Amino acid sequence: MIAAITGLTDLIQLFKMPVPPLGHPGCLAYSSILAIGVFKHRKAYDIFLQMRMKMEALSEMAQKNLRASEEKYRTILYSLEEGYFEVDLTGNFIFFNDAFAKWSGYSKEELMGMNNRRYMDEETAKKVYQVFNEVYQTGEPANAFDWEFILKDGSRRWVETSVSLVQGSGGQPIGFRGIARDVTKRKQMEEQAKIHQQQLMQAGKMVALGTLVSSVAHEINNPNNFIMLNTPLLKETWDHVLPILDEYYEKNKDFMVGGMQYPEMRSRIPRLFSGITEGSKRIQQIVEDLRDFVRRDASDMNQFVDVNAVLKSATSLLSNMITKSSSNFSVKYAKNLPILKGNSHRLEQVMINLIQNACQALLDTRRRLSLSTSFDEKTCSVVVKVQDEGIGISPEVLPHITDPFFTTKSDLGGIGLGLSISSRIVKEHGGTLVFTSEPETGTTAEMILPVSNTHPNARGAME
């Protein structure tokens, strides 16, 4: 403690010291020294008190002005139509205006302290983190970046956000502030415009392709018809000549024909005829696929379709192929399927294509191939499922399998139109074609057909 007050400085210092409690030995000494100091420096002490009162008044005024300024600032933020928010460095909300809370779907109590990862998926979170981290590292604001906000009800909205860094009194980063506006309608309009542009481009391509296909189909079909018509005649001729050659072989033993010994030639010629016929049919099918792809005919879509019957027909047509491909084949028909409105021939074309693909994917006959029909009550849809334990499809290839002219079976004569045509046919029926696959495990194809247009009270065959 100060022994004696010799000036105003000592007096001020004494005021700053803690006062000893009553009964304490230093309490009397403190009071005595303070009384003497005040008496000796009365005038200076009065000046000190006046200055202190003025400073307190100025401080109170400054605080009042600051509170008023903050209140005005908050009022402006609350009146904004755009969403305003502030988060700390970990992404927790510490302030937001009514607009932000309103379109987020959360109450103010729920939103306060919530981490921003709660309302975005993992991919979006990575994108947003990169933006915020760049703002943190550079101190420069990020202007108008778009991302998807997940509302409380699970729906998604597109949000355009501008973010800047919030700094403390010492200049250190303490959080982020931002303006967020709902741009979902703009995004939807942009997507619609993009789809419309793609449709126009596709229509132009289809017109050009249609002209080309018509010309090419005519030029290809003419010589192919000669092959298809003449090959059976040649085979018939061979069948008539064969006994004569066999008789000659019996009398004269082995002889050479076309550089081959007769026994080899005798077994090989029929295979050559079969190969020619198969190749010609493949050419015919390719031309037909091209025509189907560019065709925009108004097929009869008002037939009443029994999906079970259509699948049974497709299975019957491919019975030989199925038997050769798998000894572990099964088919299950759902009972009481609704009768759909559509085109049974077109849907059968899709089923045939899916089953053929599944058969071609099987590496050996022990692999499983299963077909089934079912009714999904949640989506009110009939589902035709084709499952195989084949080679599967890689994640890189899977998104492209319905693209026109995309194929992984060029060595088998495929030109990549089968699934593209199938997808279009299913869409014409208001349905979707969905594929899931895992390499080396197998593929599942689902044809999902809505039953909104059905024959009243009609039900399919019961199996």
CB-based contact 274:207 (threshold 8 Å):
no
**Regarding predicted confidence, which is higher, 2 or 169?**
169
Q: Where are the alpha helices (DSSP H) in 253-318?
A: 262-294, 307-317
pLDDT tens digits for range 121-140: 888 888 899 999 999 999 89
CB-based contact 277:231 (threshold 8 Å):
yes
pLDDT tens digits for range 310-340: 999 888 878 889 999 999 999 999 998 999 9
Rounded-to-integer distance, Cα 270 and Cα 261, Å: 15
- Cα within 13 Å of Cα(211), Cβ side: 5
Kind plus residue range of the DSSP H or E element containing 182: strand 173-182
- Secondary structure (DSSP) of 52-97: HHHHHHHHHHHHHHHHHHHHHHHHHHHH-SSEEEEEETTSBEEEE-
pLDDT tens digits for range 25-50: 665 555 555 555 555 555 555 555 55
> Does position 21 have pLDDT exceeding 50, yes or no?
yes
What average pLDDT does the segment 237-264 reach? 88
Pairing state between β 260-261 and 303-305: unpaired
- Number of Cβ within 10 Å of residue 367's Cβ equals 20
> Does position 455 have pLDDT exceeding 50, yes or no?
no
pLDDT band at 463 (very low <50, low <70, confident <90, very high): very low
pLDDT tens digits for range 64-78: 655 555 565 565 555
pLDDT tens digits for range 371-397: 999 999 888 999 999 999 999 988 888
pLDDT at res. 457: 44
372 contacts: CB under 8 Å, gap ≥ 6: 331, 332, 333, 334, 384, 385, 387
pLDDT at res. 235: 92
In 310-367, DSSP assigns E strands to 328-332, 338-342
pLDDT at res. 185: 87
